[in-house]
Amino acid sequence: MGFDPTLNGMSAITLKVNGRSHKLDLDPSTPLLYALSDDLALNGPKFGCGLGQCGACTVIVKGQAIRSCITPVRSVAGADITTLEGIGTADKPHPLQRAFIEEQAAQCGFCVNGVILTAKAFLDKNPKATEPEIEQALSGVLCRCFASVRMLRAIQKAGQEMAR
């Protein structure tokens, strides 16, 4: 069913984000990204293109890295959604987050949400991934600062730790 711009009807939708349930009153066609950043005030997922082309808005649903900018909330209602905030904290970072800090793998940092979550979904499923496989897995993600050397190094390092 397509999105009908003349409707804009609101409905109650439950989103389970980082282990907590939130009841929201939303137009069910609203892309998940807006619910996360505007209604739930999360800073992790970001609007980069709104077209599914860059990865900045990535979240993990059922182990898959998905692009929240083109995912209507109704399609993920009730599902477990994990954002960058949900995988670790500044004090207790996830191995990927820790590796990014250790390698200083960022410049402006706008892309790291997509880079880290795409890498996490991939490494969780492919703990023994090789360097070219990791590069391949990230080929749909952009970093316009091109901190790529450090990011790939950090992912490799975290991958080794996650595989242990």
Partner 1 sequence: MNTFTPDARAALGHAGLGRRDFLKGAGALIVGFSAGGLRTAKAQFGGPSPGAPAMNRLDSWIAIGADGGVTAYSGKEELGQGIATAQAQLVAEELSVPFDRVNLIYCDTALTPDQAYTAGSQSHPANFNQNNLAQAGATAREALLQLGSKRLGVSVDQLTAADGTIRVKSDPLRAVSYGELVGGKKFNLTLNPNAKRKPVREWTVLGKPVPRPDIREMVTGQFEFVHNVRVPGMLHGKVVRPPAVGATVVSVDESSVKNVAGLVKVVVRKNFVGVVAEKAWQAIQAATQLKVTWAPGVGLPDQAGFYNHLRTLPARDALLVDSGDVDQTLAGAATVVKATYLHPYQMHGSMGSSCAVADVQGDKATLWSPTQGVWYQKSTVALLLGLKAENVHVIFRRGSGCYGLNGADTVTYDAALLSHAVGKPVRVQLSRKDEMAWENYGNAYVMDERVGLDGQGNIIAWHHESWSPSLGNRPGPGTPGNIITGYLAGFQPQAFAPRTPAPPPTGFNNNNNGVPSYVAGGVGGRSRGTGTVKSELVLTHTVESPFWTGPLRSPNRLQNTFAHECFLDELAARVKADPVEYRLRHLKDARLIEVVKEAAKAANWETRPSPQPLPRKTGVVTGRGMACVLYEGDNGYSALVAEVEVNQDTGRVTVKRLVACNDVGPVSNPDGLRNQIEGGALQGLSRALGEEVTWDSEKVTSVDWRTYHTLPMGFAVPKIEAVLLDRPDAEATGAGETSITVLAAALGNAIFDATGARLRQIPFTTERVKKALAARG
Q: How far apart are the first and last CA of the chain?
A: 45
Of 24 and 160, CB closest to partner 1: 24
Least distance in Å: CB of 9 to partner 1?
8
Q: What is the DSSP string of 84-124?
A: HHHH--SSS--HHHHHHHHHT--SS-SSHHHHHHHHHHHHH
Between residue 7 and residue 46, which ones bind partner 1 under the rule CB under 8 A?
8-10, 27, 29-31, 34, 37-38, 41-44, 46
Q: Quote the least distance from Cβ 45 to ligand FES, whole Å.
A: 8
Site for ligand FES in 64-123 (CB under 6 A): 67, 69, 106-111
Nearest by Cα to 102 from 143, 141, 156 = 156
Helices 112-125 and 95-103: crossing angle, nearest 10°? 130
52 near ligand FES, judged by CB under 6 A: yes
Work out which of 34, 44, 55, 138 binds ligand FES, going by CB under 6 A.
55
Q: Which of the listed partners (ligand FES, partner 1, none) does 93 bind, with a CB threshold of 5 to 8 Å by partner kind? A: partner 1
Whole-number minimum distance, CB 63 to partner 1, in Å? 19
| Rounded Cα gap, residues 64 and 34, in angstroms | 19
Residues 121-150 touching ligand FES, rule: CB under 6 A, are 143-145, 147
State both tokens at 66: 């998905």
58-61 vs 80-82, strand pairing mode: antiparallel
Q: Which amino acid is at 49?
A: C
* Shortest spacing between CB 148 and ligand FES, in angstroms: 8
Interior CA angle at 45 toward 40 and 47, to 5°?
Answer: 105
Q: Which one among 76, 138, 157, 159 touches partner 1, defined by CB under 8 A?
A: 138
Chain contacts with ligand FES (rule: CB under 6 A): 47-50, 52-57, 67, 69, 106-111, 143-145, 147
